[in-house]
Amino acid sequence: MTDPGLRALPTGDSPAARGAPSAVPPRPAAALRRAAPALLGFAAVRALGVAVLAGWAAAHGKDWHTLLTARWDSLWYTRVAEHGYGWQVRLPDGTVHSNLAFFPLLPWLERLGAWIGPLPAADVGLVVAWTASVAAAWGIFAVAELHSGRRAAGFAVLLWAVLPVGVVQSMAYSESLFTALAAWGLYAVLTRRWLTAGVLAALAGLTRPVGGAVVAAVWVAVVLEAVRTRRLGWRPAVGALLAPLGAAGYVLWVGRRSGGGLLGYLDVQRQWGNGFDGGLAFARFIGSRLMSFPSVLAGAGLLAGVAGVVWLYARCVRERQPWPLLVYGGIVTVLALCASGYFGSKPRLLLPAFPLLLPLAAALARRRPGRTAALLAGVAAASAVYGAIWLCGSGPP
């Protein structure tokens, strides 16, 4: 259901259809007007979430601003911004948590903002997160519009806003910044803006470890473009060379600084309890919940959630999403579900996997507007309450 404002995309299994659609993108001003209703809806959902959080926090003697800027990872980012790398915490069991685990783009922006303006680094991080969340929503809209049309694109943005852990989009975390870079990087790939795609992939690689998913999407698209045109142009080639520079540069720097060589960053993550075991530890975690009462309900919920994510990705494959979206969404999903630590963080780690939402968005676009609006409003309210309870409690980082 391609929107009439865009040139029809190729169909079938050709490289052009599954690789890099060649729709002519509208001018920035026109594109913003097309996305404006969805962005206003996104802003309303996020405002509702912050308002509910503020009320809930006040009722429990807490400060909403502190909850958004000074909990868990946000504290580590702020410390990097203020003092640089090299700080670590040694736990009673002897393991070391080093701030080298945190990629540098967000703290760099926090330091820059604090240097040129009146806000402290923590507040700059919040401004970056809020701004980036809107940019991410616009990028999701742009990608979804290319694939499914304007109406479904609007629903994709709203679905991303009302996710149960959507409150993270309003925290001084790196998820919003990464999703913005990833979404616009994928949009650049799908519209064959190779140099832009390479730069955005490099920046995404400086933001989170999963930046490699954007790099892989760029590389797949470049290969498909070379197959389609039977040559490798200089722009796709340079884009492919630029894409891994951010992630590779930081990982190599950490290895040199930590003395661990090429695997130094993995050693840093291992100290934090992070690793990749194909999902075995997560499966054991779910199994342990299923074997005892009352945690059996939580285990069943986790099992249903994993099944739902796998089903959504299968739908993405069946609906023949372009290969860059499938590669990106697949890598983000696998890394989130198959990491060996911090099981409570997995919903947050799945936030950037927005291509999984496109089948649901297309389904909502076919429903009656009144029922869909009521459904999304109810989910938005539930998400806001859940986010407030989560942040005011001892929820997962």
- pLDDT band of 94, cuts 50, 70, 90: confident
Q: Does the pLDDT at position 23 exceed 80?
A: no
Contacts of 393 (CB under 8 A, 6+ apart): none
- pLDDT band of 341, cuts 50, 70, 90: confident
Q: How far is 173 from 122, CA to CA, in rounded Å?
A: 10
> What's the whole-number mean pLDDT along residues 239-257?
97
Residue 25 gets which letter from DSSP?
P
Q: Which of 367, 369, 331, 375 is nearest to 349 (CA)?
A: 331
Q: Does the pLDDT at position 211 exceed 60?
A: yes
Q: How far is 224 from 184, CA to CA, in rounded Å?
A: 19
Q: What is the pLDDT of residues 149-162, one digit of tens each?
A: 999 999 999 999 99
Both tokens assigned to 167: 């409150």
Please give the share of the chain, as a percent, with pLDDT higher than 90: 86
Q: Does the pLDDT at position 115 exceed 90?
A: yes
Q: How far is 247 from 250, CA to CA, in rounded Å?
A: 5
Both tokens assigned to 356: 């999984």
Q: Does the pLDDT at position 118 exceed 50?
A: yes
Lowest mean pLDDT among 198-202, 246-250, 326-330, 392-396: 392-396
H/E stretch holding 98: strand 96-98
- Give the pLDDT confidence score for residue 275 in this predicted structure: 92
Both tokens assigned to 133: 């969340």
Q: Does the pLDDT at position 44 exceed 50?
A: yes
Domain residue limits, the chain: 27-392
- pLDDT band of 69, cuts 50, 70, 90: very high
Q: Does the pLDDT at position 227 exceed 60?
A: yes
> What's the whole-number mean pLDDT along residues 367-382?
95
- Give the pLDDT confidence score for residue 8 in this predicted structure: 32
Cα distance from N-terminal residue to C-terminal residue, the chain: 39
Mean pLDDT of the chain: 92
Q: Is the pTM of this model over 0.85?
A: yes
